[in-house]
């Protein structure tokens, strides 16, 4: 959940590190720091944002090798002392680290007994002292790092430099991503390709347990057994311009506005007009294999989990296969029964979400067939899975997911269509869904044109201390995602419930001070949804209805009317107004929209 950048080459490292950290600030932004090597190690670090760090780095901060870090706190509150990098007592070794060292307290006690002096509360400082004590007895920094890591229990993505070895950086990963960037007589490393694309598009992803030594003229990778491994570089499609705001006030608004294009990219080349089926070559399954599954289990975290609930509904409706979604963080700890005739689908925008990655690894260990739906080519989950679907939504910088969420729901529609057509979904229904999918980009544009109206509604409801979101069946995961968006970027407390569950408890919370956002598609449950609105209004509750028709003023105070698609695909469109509602509520309340408090973009710790 933090950001790492490393550089070795002929140029001054500090500007490159600062630029890379700025690109990674969505991964962590409570403190930042960097260190360069030039006749010893020179370090600057601060509590605060990367801009605060840049302000304290002198113009002449020379060094052609260095490492940098932007932090999301796990051990120790944000402070100058707890910011990375961390140095050994002799200031010879510097380390930056993502992840959690679970046996840090035990190691710290032993090191302190041996005379090590700690200056921070972090688990990471343990690594700096361990490596420093090992490096004197080792033939190389690589060997010292490997020896120290054998004593570590937990997850890590690290970059290490040694003042006496000014020509090399050692990086390693176990559960937290590290990507190498190959330049022209220079090398880079980072926790995300966002930090690299300005300088190179040739990258190498480290696997768990791998270690790499970077020098200006190249790199060498090693497996856990210390043997060299062969790595083929990939060319990433994303460019530096993809990480700019593009004239929008916030990345979040830019990414919401990009959804007509990103949905079109997710669909491109995947719809077959002859057989009315979805072509998903990345599944690595023929029709017979696709027909062999009797159940689908979807796992993800946060918004990915809610998109999985939409996906489960689509698969059950179109393919008539029992399907459900579950938080990956719970799935991996409840000793799940892994059935041979169940298809498992793992969702992650970054492809590095640790809880989801660990669940995939557990499934693979037990022989499960796992597909991945991810946005990042070459990511850990994409590599671990048997096959899957890339979203092609482009980089998502804002912490709150919008375009990746929508593209994931579209990918599930494609998967459901594919599974349905190799089973019992008729050609006529296949054609109907294909045509509905093709209408989505234009209809999203129509919804985005409602932004002025939705902004007015956001201003109206932003002063609520708490809000309720309700929906039935297809509308329930939409309500859950809407509540998630509002709470994570505006800090307004929001709860989501199935509309049918209100009278079983939550109705006690309804009153004039607690508005309700009701998801009311024009489907077979319309009358039941309208009855729920009547129950809320009878108790003095304010109602904002999002649906396909204008509401009776007796049932709703306000409404947002969205275009209709096929009833199975309507949840995708009903999500868009809730994104805009949350965004404008956050702006009205003066929140840091792209970097909400306590959160980070890619959750690579438990």
The values of phi and psi at residue 311, to 5°, are: -60, -40
**CATH architecture designation of domain 446-593:** 3-Layer(aba) Sandwich (3.40)
With beta carbons less than 8 A apart as the criterion, state whether 14 and 40 touch.
Answer: no
Residue 26 has a pLDDT of 72
Contact call for residues 104 and 126 (beta carbons, < 8 A): yes
The mean pLDDT of 262-277, rounded to a whole number, is 96
CA geometry: angle 242, 49, 492, nearest 5 deg: 85
Active site residue 2: yes
Q: How confident is the model at residue 113 (pLDDT cuts 50, 70, 90)?
A: very high
Confidence of residue 244 (pLDDT cuts 50, 70, 90): confident
pLDDT at residue number 77: 84
Distance separating the N- and C-terminal Cα atoms of the chain: 10
Q: Where are the domains of the chain?
A: 3-235, 446-593
Phi-psi region of 540 (alpha: psi -120 to 50; beta: other; left: phi over 0): left
pLDDT at 459: 97
Tokens of 486: 């509002």
Give helix then strand counts, H and E, for the chain: 18, 27
Q: What is d(CA 532, CA 502) in angstroms, rounded to the nearest whole number?
A: 8
Taking a C-beta distance cutoff of 8 angstroms, is the pair 345, 311 a contact?
Answer: yes
Neighbouring CB atoms inside 10 A of 592's CB total 13
pLDDT for the residue 606:
65
For residue 454, give both structure tokens. 């939705």
DSSP E strands, 117-207: 156-162, 165-174, 179-182, 187-190, 202-205
CATH topology match: 3-235 vs 446-593: no
pLDDT, tens only, 558-598? 999 999 999 999 999 999 999 999 999 999 999 999 989 88
**Catalytic: 11?**
no
Split at pLDDT 50, 70, 90, the class of 18 is very high
> Which CATH number is associated with domain 3-235?
3.60.20.10
Of these residues, 2, 301, 385, 559, which one is catalytic? Answer: 2
1 confidence band (pLDDT: 50, 70, 90): low
Counting residues of the chain whose pLDDT is more than 90, the rounded percentage is 81
The one catalytic residue in 254, 403, 487, 601 is 601
**Which residues partner with 558 through β-bridges?**
544
The model's confidence at residue 604, banded by pLDDT at 50, 70 and 90, is low
pLDDT of residue 376: 86
Q: What was the pLDDT predicted at 301?
A: 94
At 89-112, the pLDDT tens digits run 999 999 999 989 999 999 999 999
Segment 529-552 shows an average pLDDT of 92
């Amino acid at each position: 959940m933090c950001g790492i950048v490393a550089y070795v080459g002929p140029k001054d490292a500090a500007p490159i590190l600062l630029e890379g950290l700025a690109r990674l600030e969505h991964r962590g932004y409570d403190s930042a720091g960097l260190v360069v090597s030039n006749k010893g190690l020179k370090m600057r670090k601060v509590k605060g944002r990367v801009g605060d760090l840049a302000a304290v780095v002198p113009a002449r901060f020379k060094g052609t090798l260095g490492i940098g870090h932007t932090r999301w706190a796990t051990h120790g509150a944000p402070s100058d002392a707890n910011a990375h990098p961390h140095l050994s007592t002799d200031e010879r070794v510097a380390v930056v680290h993502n992840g959690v060292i679970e046996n840090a307290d035990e190691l710290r006690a032993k090191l302190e007994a041996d005379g090590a002096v700690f200056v921070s509360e972090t688990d990471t400082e343990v690594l700096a002292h361990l490596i420093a004590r090992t490096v004197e007895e080792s033939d190389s920094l690589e060997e010292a790092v490997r020896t120290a890591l054998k004593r570590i229990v937990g997850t890590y993505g690290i970059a290490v430099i040694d003042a006496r070895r000014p020509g090399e950086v050692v990086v390693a990963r176990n559960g937290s991503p590290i990507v190498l960037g190959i330049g022209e007589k220079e090398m880079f490393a980072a926790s995300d390709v966002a930090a690299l694309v300005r300088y190179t598009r040739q990258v190498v992803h480290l696997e768990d347990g791998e270690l790499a030594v970077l020098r200006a003229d190249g790199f060498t990778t090693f497996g856990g057994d210390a043997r060299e491994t062969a790595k083929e570089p990939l060319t990433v499609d994303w460019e530096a311009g993809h990480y700019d705001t593009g004239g929008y006030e916030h990345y979040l608004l830019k990414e919401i506005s990009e959804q007509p294009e990103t949905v079109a990219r997710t669909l491109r080349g995947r719809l077959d007009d002859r057989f009315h089926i979805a072509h998903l070559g990345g599944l690595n399954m023929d029709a017979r294999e696709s027909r062999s599954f009797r159940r689908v289990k979807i796992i993800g975290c946060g918004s990915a989990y809610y998109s999985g609930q939409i996906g489960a509904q689509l698969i059950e409706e179109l393919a008539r296969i029992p399907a459900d979604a579950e938080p990956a963080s719970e799935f991996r700890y409840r000793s799940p029964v892994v059935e041979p005739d169940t298809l498992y689908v793992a969702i992650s925008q970054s492809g590095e979400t640790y809880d989801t990655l660990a669940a995939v690894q557990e499934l693979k260990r037990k022989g499960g067939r796992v597909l991945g739906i991810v946005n990042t080519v070459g990511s850990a989950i994409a590599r671990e899975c048997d096959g899957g679907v890339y979203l092609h939504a482009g980089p998502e910088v804002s912490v709150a997911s919008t375009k990746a969420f929508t593209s994931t729901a579209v990918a599930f529609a494609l998967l459901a269509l594919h599974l349905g057509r190799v089973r019992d979904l008729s050609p006529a229904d296949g054609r109907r869904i294909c045509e509905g999918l093709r209408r989505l980009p234009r209809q999203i544009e129509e919804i985005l044109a409602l932004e002025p109206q939705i902004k007015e509604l956001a201003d109206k409801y932003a002063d609520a201390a708490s809000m309720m979101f309700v929906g039935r069946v297809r509308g329930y995961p939409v309500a859950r995602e809407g509540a998630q968006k509002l709470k994570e970027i505006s800090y307004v407390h929001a709860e989501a419930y199935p509309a049918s569950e209100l009278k079983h408890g939550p109705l006690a919370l309804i009153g004039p001070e607690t508005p309700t956002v009701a998801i009311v598609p024009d489907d077979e449950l319309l009358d039941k949804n309208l009855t729920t609105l009547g129950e809320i209004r009878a108790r003095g509750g304010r109602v904002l209805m999002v649906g396909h028709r204008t509401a009776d003023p007796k049932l709703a105070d306000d409404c947002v009317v969205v275009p209709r698609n096929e009833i199975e695909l309507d949840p995708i469109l009903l999500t868009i107004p809730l994104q805009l509602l949350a965004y404008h509520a956050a702006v009205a309340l003066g929140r840091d929209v792209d970097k909400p408090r306590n959160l980070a973009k890619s959750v690579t710790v438990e």
